[in-house]
Amino acid sequence: MSSANTSRPAFWRGARDAGPFLFVAGPFGALFGVVATEAGLNLAQVMGFSVVVIAGASQLAALQLMLDQAPAVIVLLSAVAVNLRMAMYSASLAPYLGAAPLWKRALVAYMNVDQTYAVSVLTFEDQPQMTLAERLSYFFGTCLPIIPVWIITTYIGALLGEAIPSDWDITFAVPVAFLAMVAPALRTPAHIAAAAASVVLAIVFGGLPYNLGLMPAGIGAMIVGAEVERRMGARFTPPSGGAK
């Protein structure tokens, strides 16, 4: 059977498995568009932000700092700190997708977000017999309900935001959005420990200017979460055989 014949079903299976995340990516994309416009960004800036970053948590964190008029370097460092988890995602996917050509790995890196990673890595672990071509197709399939929807709904939200009167302050939606994103992710003791650590560290470092406490809180939370998972005996086993 040709690679194309096996890859096509894998692509659509990935799209189907990630389909439920439409109900997350759509509303949050629209919310970011609205709040970013309310914060003073024009349509081009909102869309550039969303297309380049594609990460709701770091985009909202950066937006909050921009609202607080933090220096650009602080905004950038905070966004990077929030997105450090993507490095762990990439390391986890490397045994499955690392043999792909450079341009395909670059696309994977660009579209490697919480939802595409979570759906893909669980499938790769459960089905080690998948070939490299099938894994790539499956991963790109998971992107179909996430990446285009995020960008399109951001655009819609930005258009809606431009129609909202300037005296309607809806920036309160930023912390609400964070709570809505974090709560469903608290599925394991490691997740709960990381969340608790982030709260404690955010309080401890809350007096730092420009919300700089976000960085030690985020980094510390990831360290705590990783340590709890390590102590619980979670071990990653790469797929055997290296089939392509």
* Residues 106-160 pLDDT 10s: 999 999 988 898 889 889 988 999 999 999 999 999 999 989 999 999 999 899 8
Q: How many CB atoms lie within 10 A of CB 105?
A: 18
Average pLDDT of the residues of the chain: 81
Using an 8 Å Cβ cutoff, are 39 and 95 in contact? no
User: pLDDT, tens digit, for every residue of 207-244?
Assistant: 887 767 777 887 888 788 888 877 876 444 455 544 44
Q: What is the residue extent of each domain of the chain?
A: 3-183, 186-233
> Whose structure tokens read 């800036």?
45
Q: Among candidates 153, 136, 169, which has minimal Cα distance to 35?
A: 169
| Per-residue pLDDT tens digits for 78-104 | 788 778 778 878 888 999 999 999 999
pLDDT of residue 118: 84
- Is the pTM for the entire model greater than 0.85? no
Question: Which one is predicted more confidently, 242 or 168?
Answer: 168
